[in-house]
Amino acid sequence: MIVIEGCAIVTVDGDGTEYTDGHLVIDDGRIVAVGSDAARTADEPVQRIDGTGCLATPGLVNTHHHLYQWATRGLAQQENLFGWLTELYPLWAGLDADLVAATTGAGLGWLALSGCTTSTDHHYVHPTGGGDLMAAQVEAAGEVGLRFHPCRGSMDLGRSRGGLPPDHVVEDTDAALAGTEDAIDRFHDPADDAMVRIAVAPCSPFSVTTTLMTEAADLARRKGVRLHTHLAETVEEAEYCQRVHGCDPVEYAESLGWLGDNVWLAHAVHLDAAAVARLAATGTGVAHCPSSNARLGAGLAPVRDLLDAGVPVGLGVDGPASQEANHLGAELRQALYAARLRGGPAALAAREALSLATMGGARCLGRSGDIGSIEVGKLADIALWRLDGLGHAGIADPVAALVLGPPAPLELLLVGGRPVVARGELRTVDERELVRRAGRAQRTLMRRADR
Ligand SMILES: [Zn+2]
């Protein structure tokens, strides 16, 4: 049993319950009590944590990522999406299981340090002979200790058939489907306390055939897993859909069975009112990635419109090659800023930004019953942020401090009650070793590209 007391608590429950001086009790990986003042427990806790000066929030949920890109950061610095992809695809052709293990460890370790307790990944590059990439990811995530929803991605539309990626980085359609089904069979855990769940995730309209999209949707529904893809990210993608399919990206997705309450879409930047209404009517979720959208100059997603329509919206850092900071805690402020640049100062409140990164993400991943808020019975995925340092001094409202202030130091990060970060340091893995392995992966990939 762990007791945390003396901290502010923002539960993000349905009533918006907050405590200025509260306690949390965790037993057997779940939250068993939350309330004001000190905890009253019959048994003496194994660990009692003084949360004075801290804010407890639900652990943050990252809804879109490409962990392998940890090996190709800082490149194509002034390209739009298509130019950036065209420069990086040939590098990614050199990926293998060792590099994917190293980049997954680095990326998830960094996410943990930024307050994230659950992350997706979207791995869509599967080079021939690259080894068992999904197993490498699942193993590396287990070492870091985050809850992990890897999406088995795929591409089968190479340049010779009108797609954007070079032919040598795409898979055969049947191989992509077989690899996806295999990942579900081996790693998907439907249990409500699952540490690993698989989603089905063909990459994007300009890198995937309609056959793969349709059959992937059938596979996901047959297996009872979720669907994820990139959609409506850039103007160029919208033009591609008009030219090739004669409709906008959301109409295209709907025609393929790709809208629904088991689907969440990355980006959804370029949407008209009809597209927003279709996402809302179908219960389709959105992974909002404001820093990546800014880095690639893709645009400002209509987050206010999506929320007003009732669309589940989560936050995503997106791959570390298209937004090198990759700090999910800092993405709270970026989301607020992006919404306000588009819609004015009332477009997103600080508490709404926190809600996107917690319950919004949980809804996107189909886990709103298990994670995303601090409520009795839910899994003990908790971030405890230090707000008593100079960077947050003079801000009385802890949520304003967390969202509007600089990234807050992380006092403690619990995943299922297990400490993954304590006093700003990873407890499950050696951070210096993650740095060494990520550096080695980057150098190996560059060497392979030079050959
Ligand atoms: Zn992406």
Q: Residue 37 has what pLDDT?
A: 87
Cα–Cα distance between 436 and 238 in angstroms, integer?
A: 40
Cross-strand bridge partners of residue 199: 151, 226
Residues 6+ apart with CB under 8 A from 436: none
Cα–Cα distance between 250 and 268 in angstroms, integer?
A: 9
Provide the 8-state DSSP code for 379.
B
Cα–Cα distance between 275 and 171 in angstroms, integer?
A: 30
Cβ atoms within 10 Å of 327's Cβ, excluding its own: 20
How far is ligand 1, taken at its centre, from the CA of residue 203, in Å? 8
Residues 423-449: tens digit of each pLDDT: 999 999 999 999 999 999 999 999 999
How far is ligand 1, taken at its centre, from the CA of residue 64, in Å? 6
pLDDT-derived band at 214, boundaries 50, 70, 90: very high
Residues 288-297: tens digit of each pLDDT: 999 999 999 9
Is the confidence at residue 451, as pLDDT, over 90? no
Is the confidence at residue 323, as pLDDT, over 80? yes
Look at the alpha carbons of 215, 219, 224, 225 in this order and tell me if their dihedral is positive or negative. Answer: negative
Residues 38-97: tens digit of each pLDDT: 888 878 878 999 999 999 999 999 999 999 999 999 999 999 999 999 999 999 999 999
Q: Quote the distance between the C-alpha of residue 36 and its chain's center.
A: 31
Cross-strand bridge partners of residue 87: none
What average pLDDT score do residues 111-129 get?
A: 97
How far is ligand 1, taken at its centre, from the CA of residue 31, in Å? 33
3-state secondary structure of 226: strand
Q: Residue 339 has what pLDDT?
A: 98
Q: Are 239 and 379 in contact (CB under 8 A)?
A: no
How far is ligand 1, taken at its centre, from the CA of residue 396, in Å? 36
Based on its alpha-carbon atoms, the radius of gyration of the chain, rounded to whole angstroms, reads 21
How far is ligand 1, taken at its centre, from the CA of residue 319, in Å? 6
Look at the alpha carbons of 335, 337, 339, 345 in this order and tell me if their dihedral is positive or negative. Answer: positive
How far is ligand 1, taken at its centre, from the CA of residue 265, in Å? 10
How far is ligand 1, taken at its centre, from the CA of residue 289, in Å? 9
Strands (E), 281-335: 285-288, 313-315
> Which residue has tokens 């040598």?
168
Q: Residue 439 has what pLDDT?
A: 98
How far is ligand 1, taken at its centre, from the CA of residue 24, in Å? 35
What average pLDDT score do residues 299-312 get?
A: 98
How far is ligand 1, taken at its centre, from the CA of residue 387, in Å? 32
Residues 6+ apart with CB under 8 A from 103: 67, 68, 69, 70, 71, 438, 441
How far is ligand 1, taken at its centre, from the CA of residue 89, in Å? 13
3-state secondary structure of 98: helix
How far is ligand 1, taken at its centre, from the CA of residue 63, in Å? 10
- pLDDT, the chain, mean: 97
Both structure tokens of 188: 């998907």
Both structure tokens of 53: 């000066």
Is the confidence at residue 182, as pLDDT, over 80? yes
How far is ligand 1, taken at its centre, from the CA of residue 318, in Å? 5
What average pLDDT score do residues 130-140 get?
A: 98
Which of 317, 164, 284, 302 is closest to 236 using CA atoms?
A: 164
Q: Residue 8 has what pLDDT?
A: 98
pLDDT-derived band at 450, boundaries 50, 70, 90: confident
Is the confidence at residue 228, as pLDDT, over 90? yes
Is the confidence at residue 218, as pLDDT, over 80? yes
In angstroms, the Cα distances linking 226 to 14, 218, 277, 364, 400 are: 24, 11, 21, 9, 34
- Give the chain's length: 451
What average pLDDT score do residues 281-302 get?
A: 98
Q: Are 56 and 374 in contact (CB under 8 A)?
A: yes
Q: Are 420 and 382 in contact (CB under 8 A)?
A: no
Residues 341-398: tens digit of each pLDDT: 999 999 999 999 999 999 999 999 999 999 999 999 999 999 999 999 999 999 999 9
Which of 409, 217, 433 is closest to 441 using CA atoms?
A: 433
Both structure tokens of 81: 């999406």
For a pLDDT cut of 70, what percent of the chain falls above it?
Answer: 100
Q: Residue 42 has what pLDDT?
A: 78
| Amino acid at residue number 3 | V
Q: What's the pTM value of the predicted model, to 2 decimals?
A: 0.98
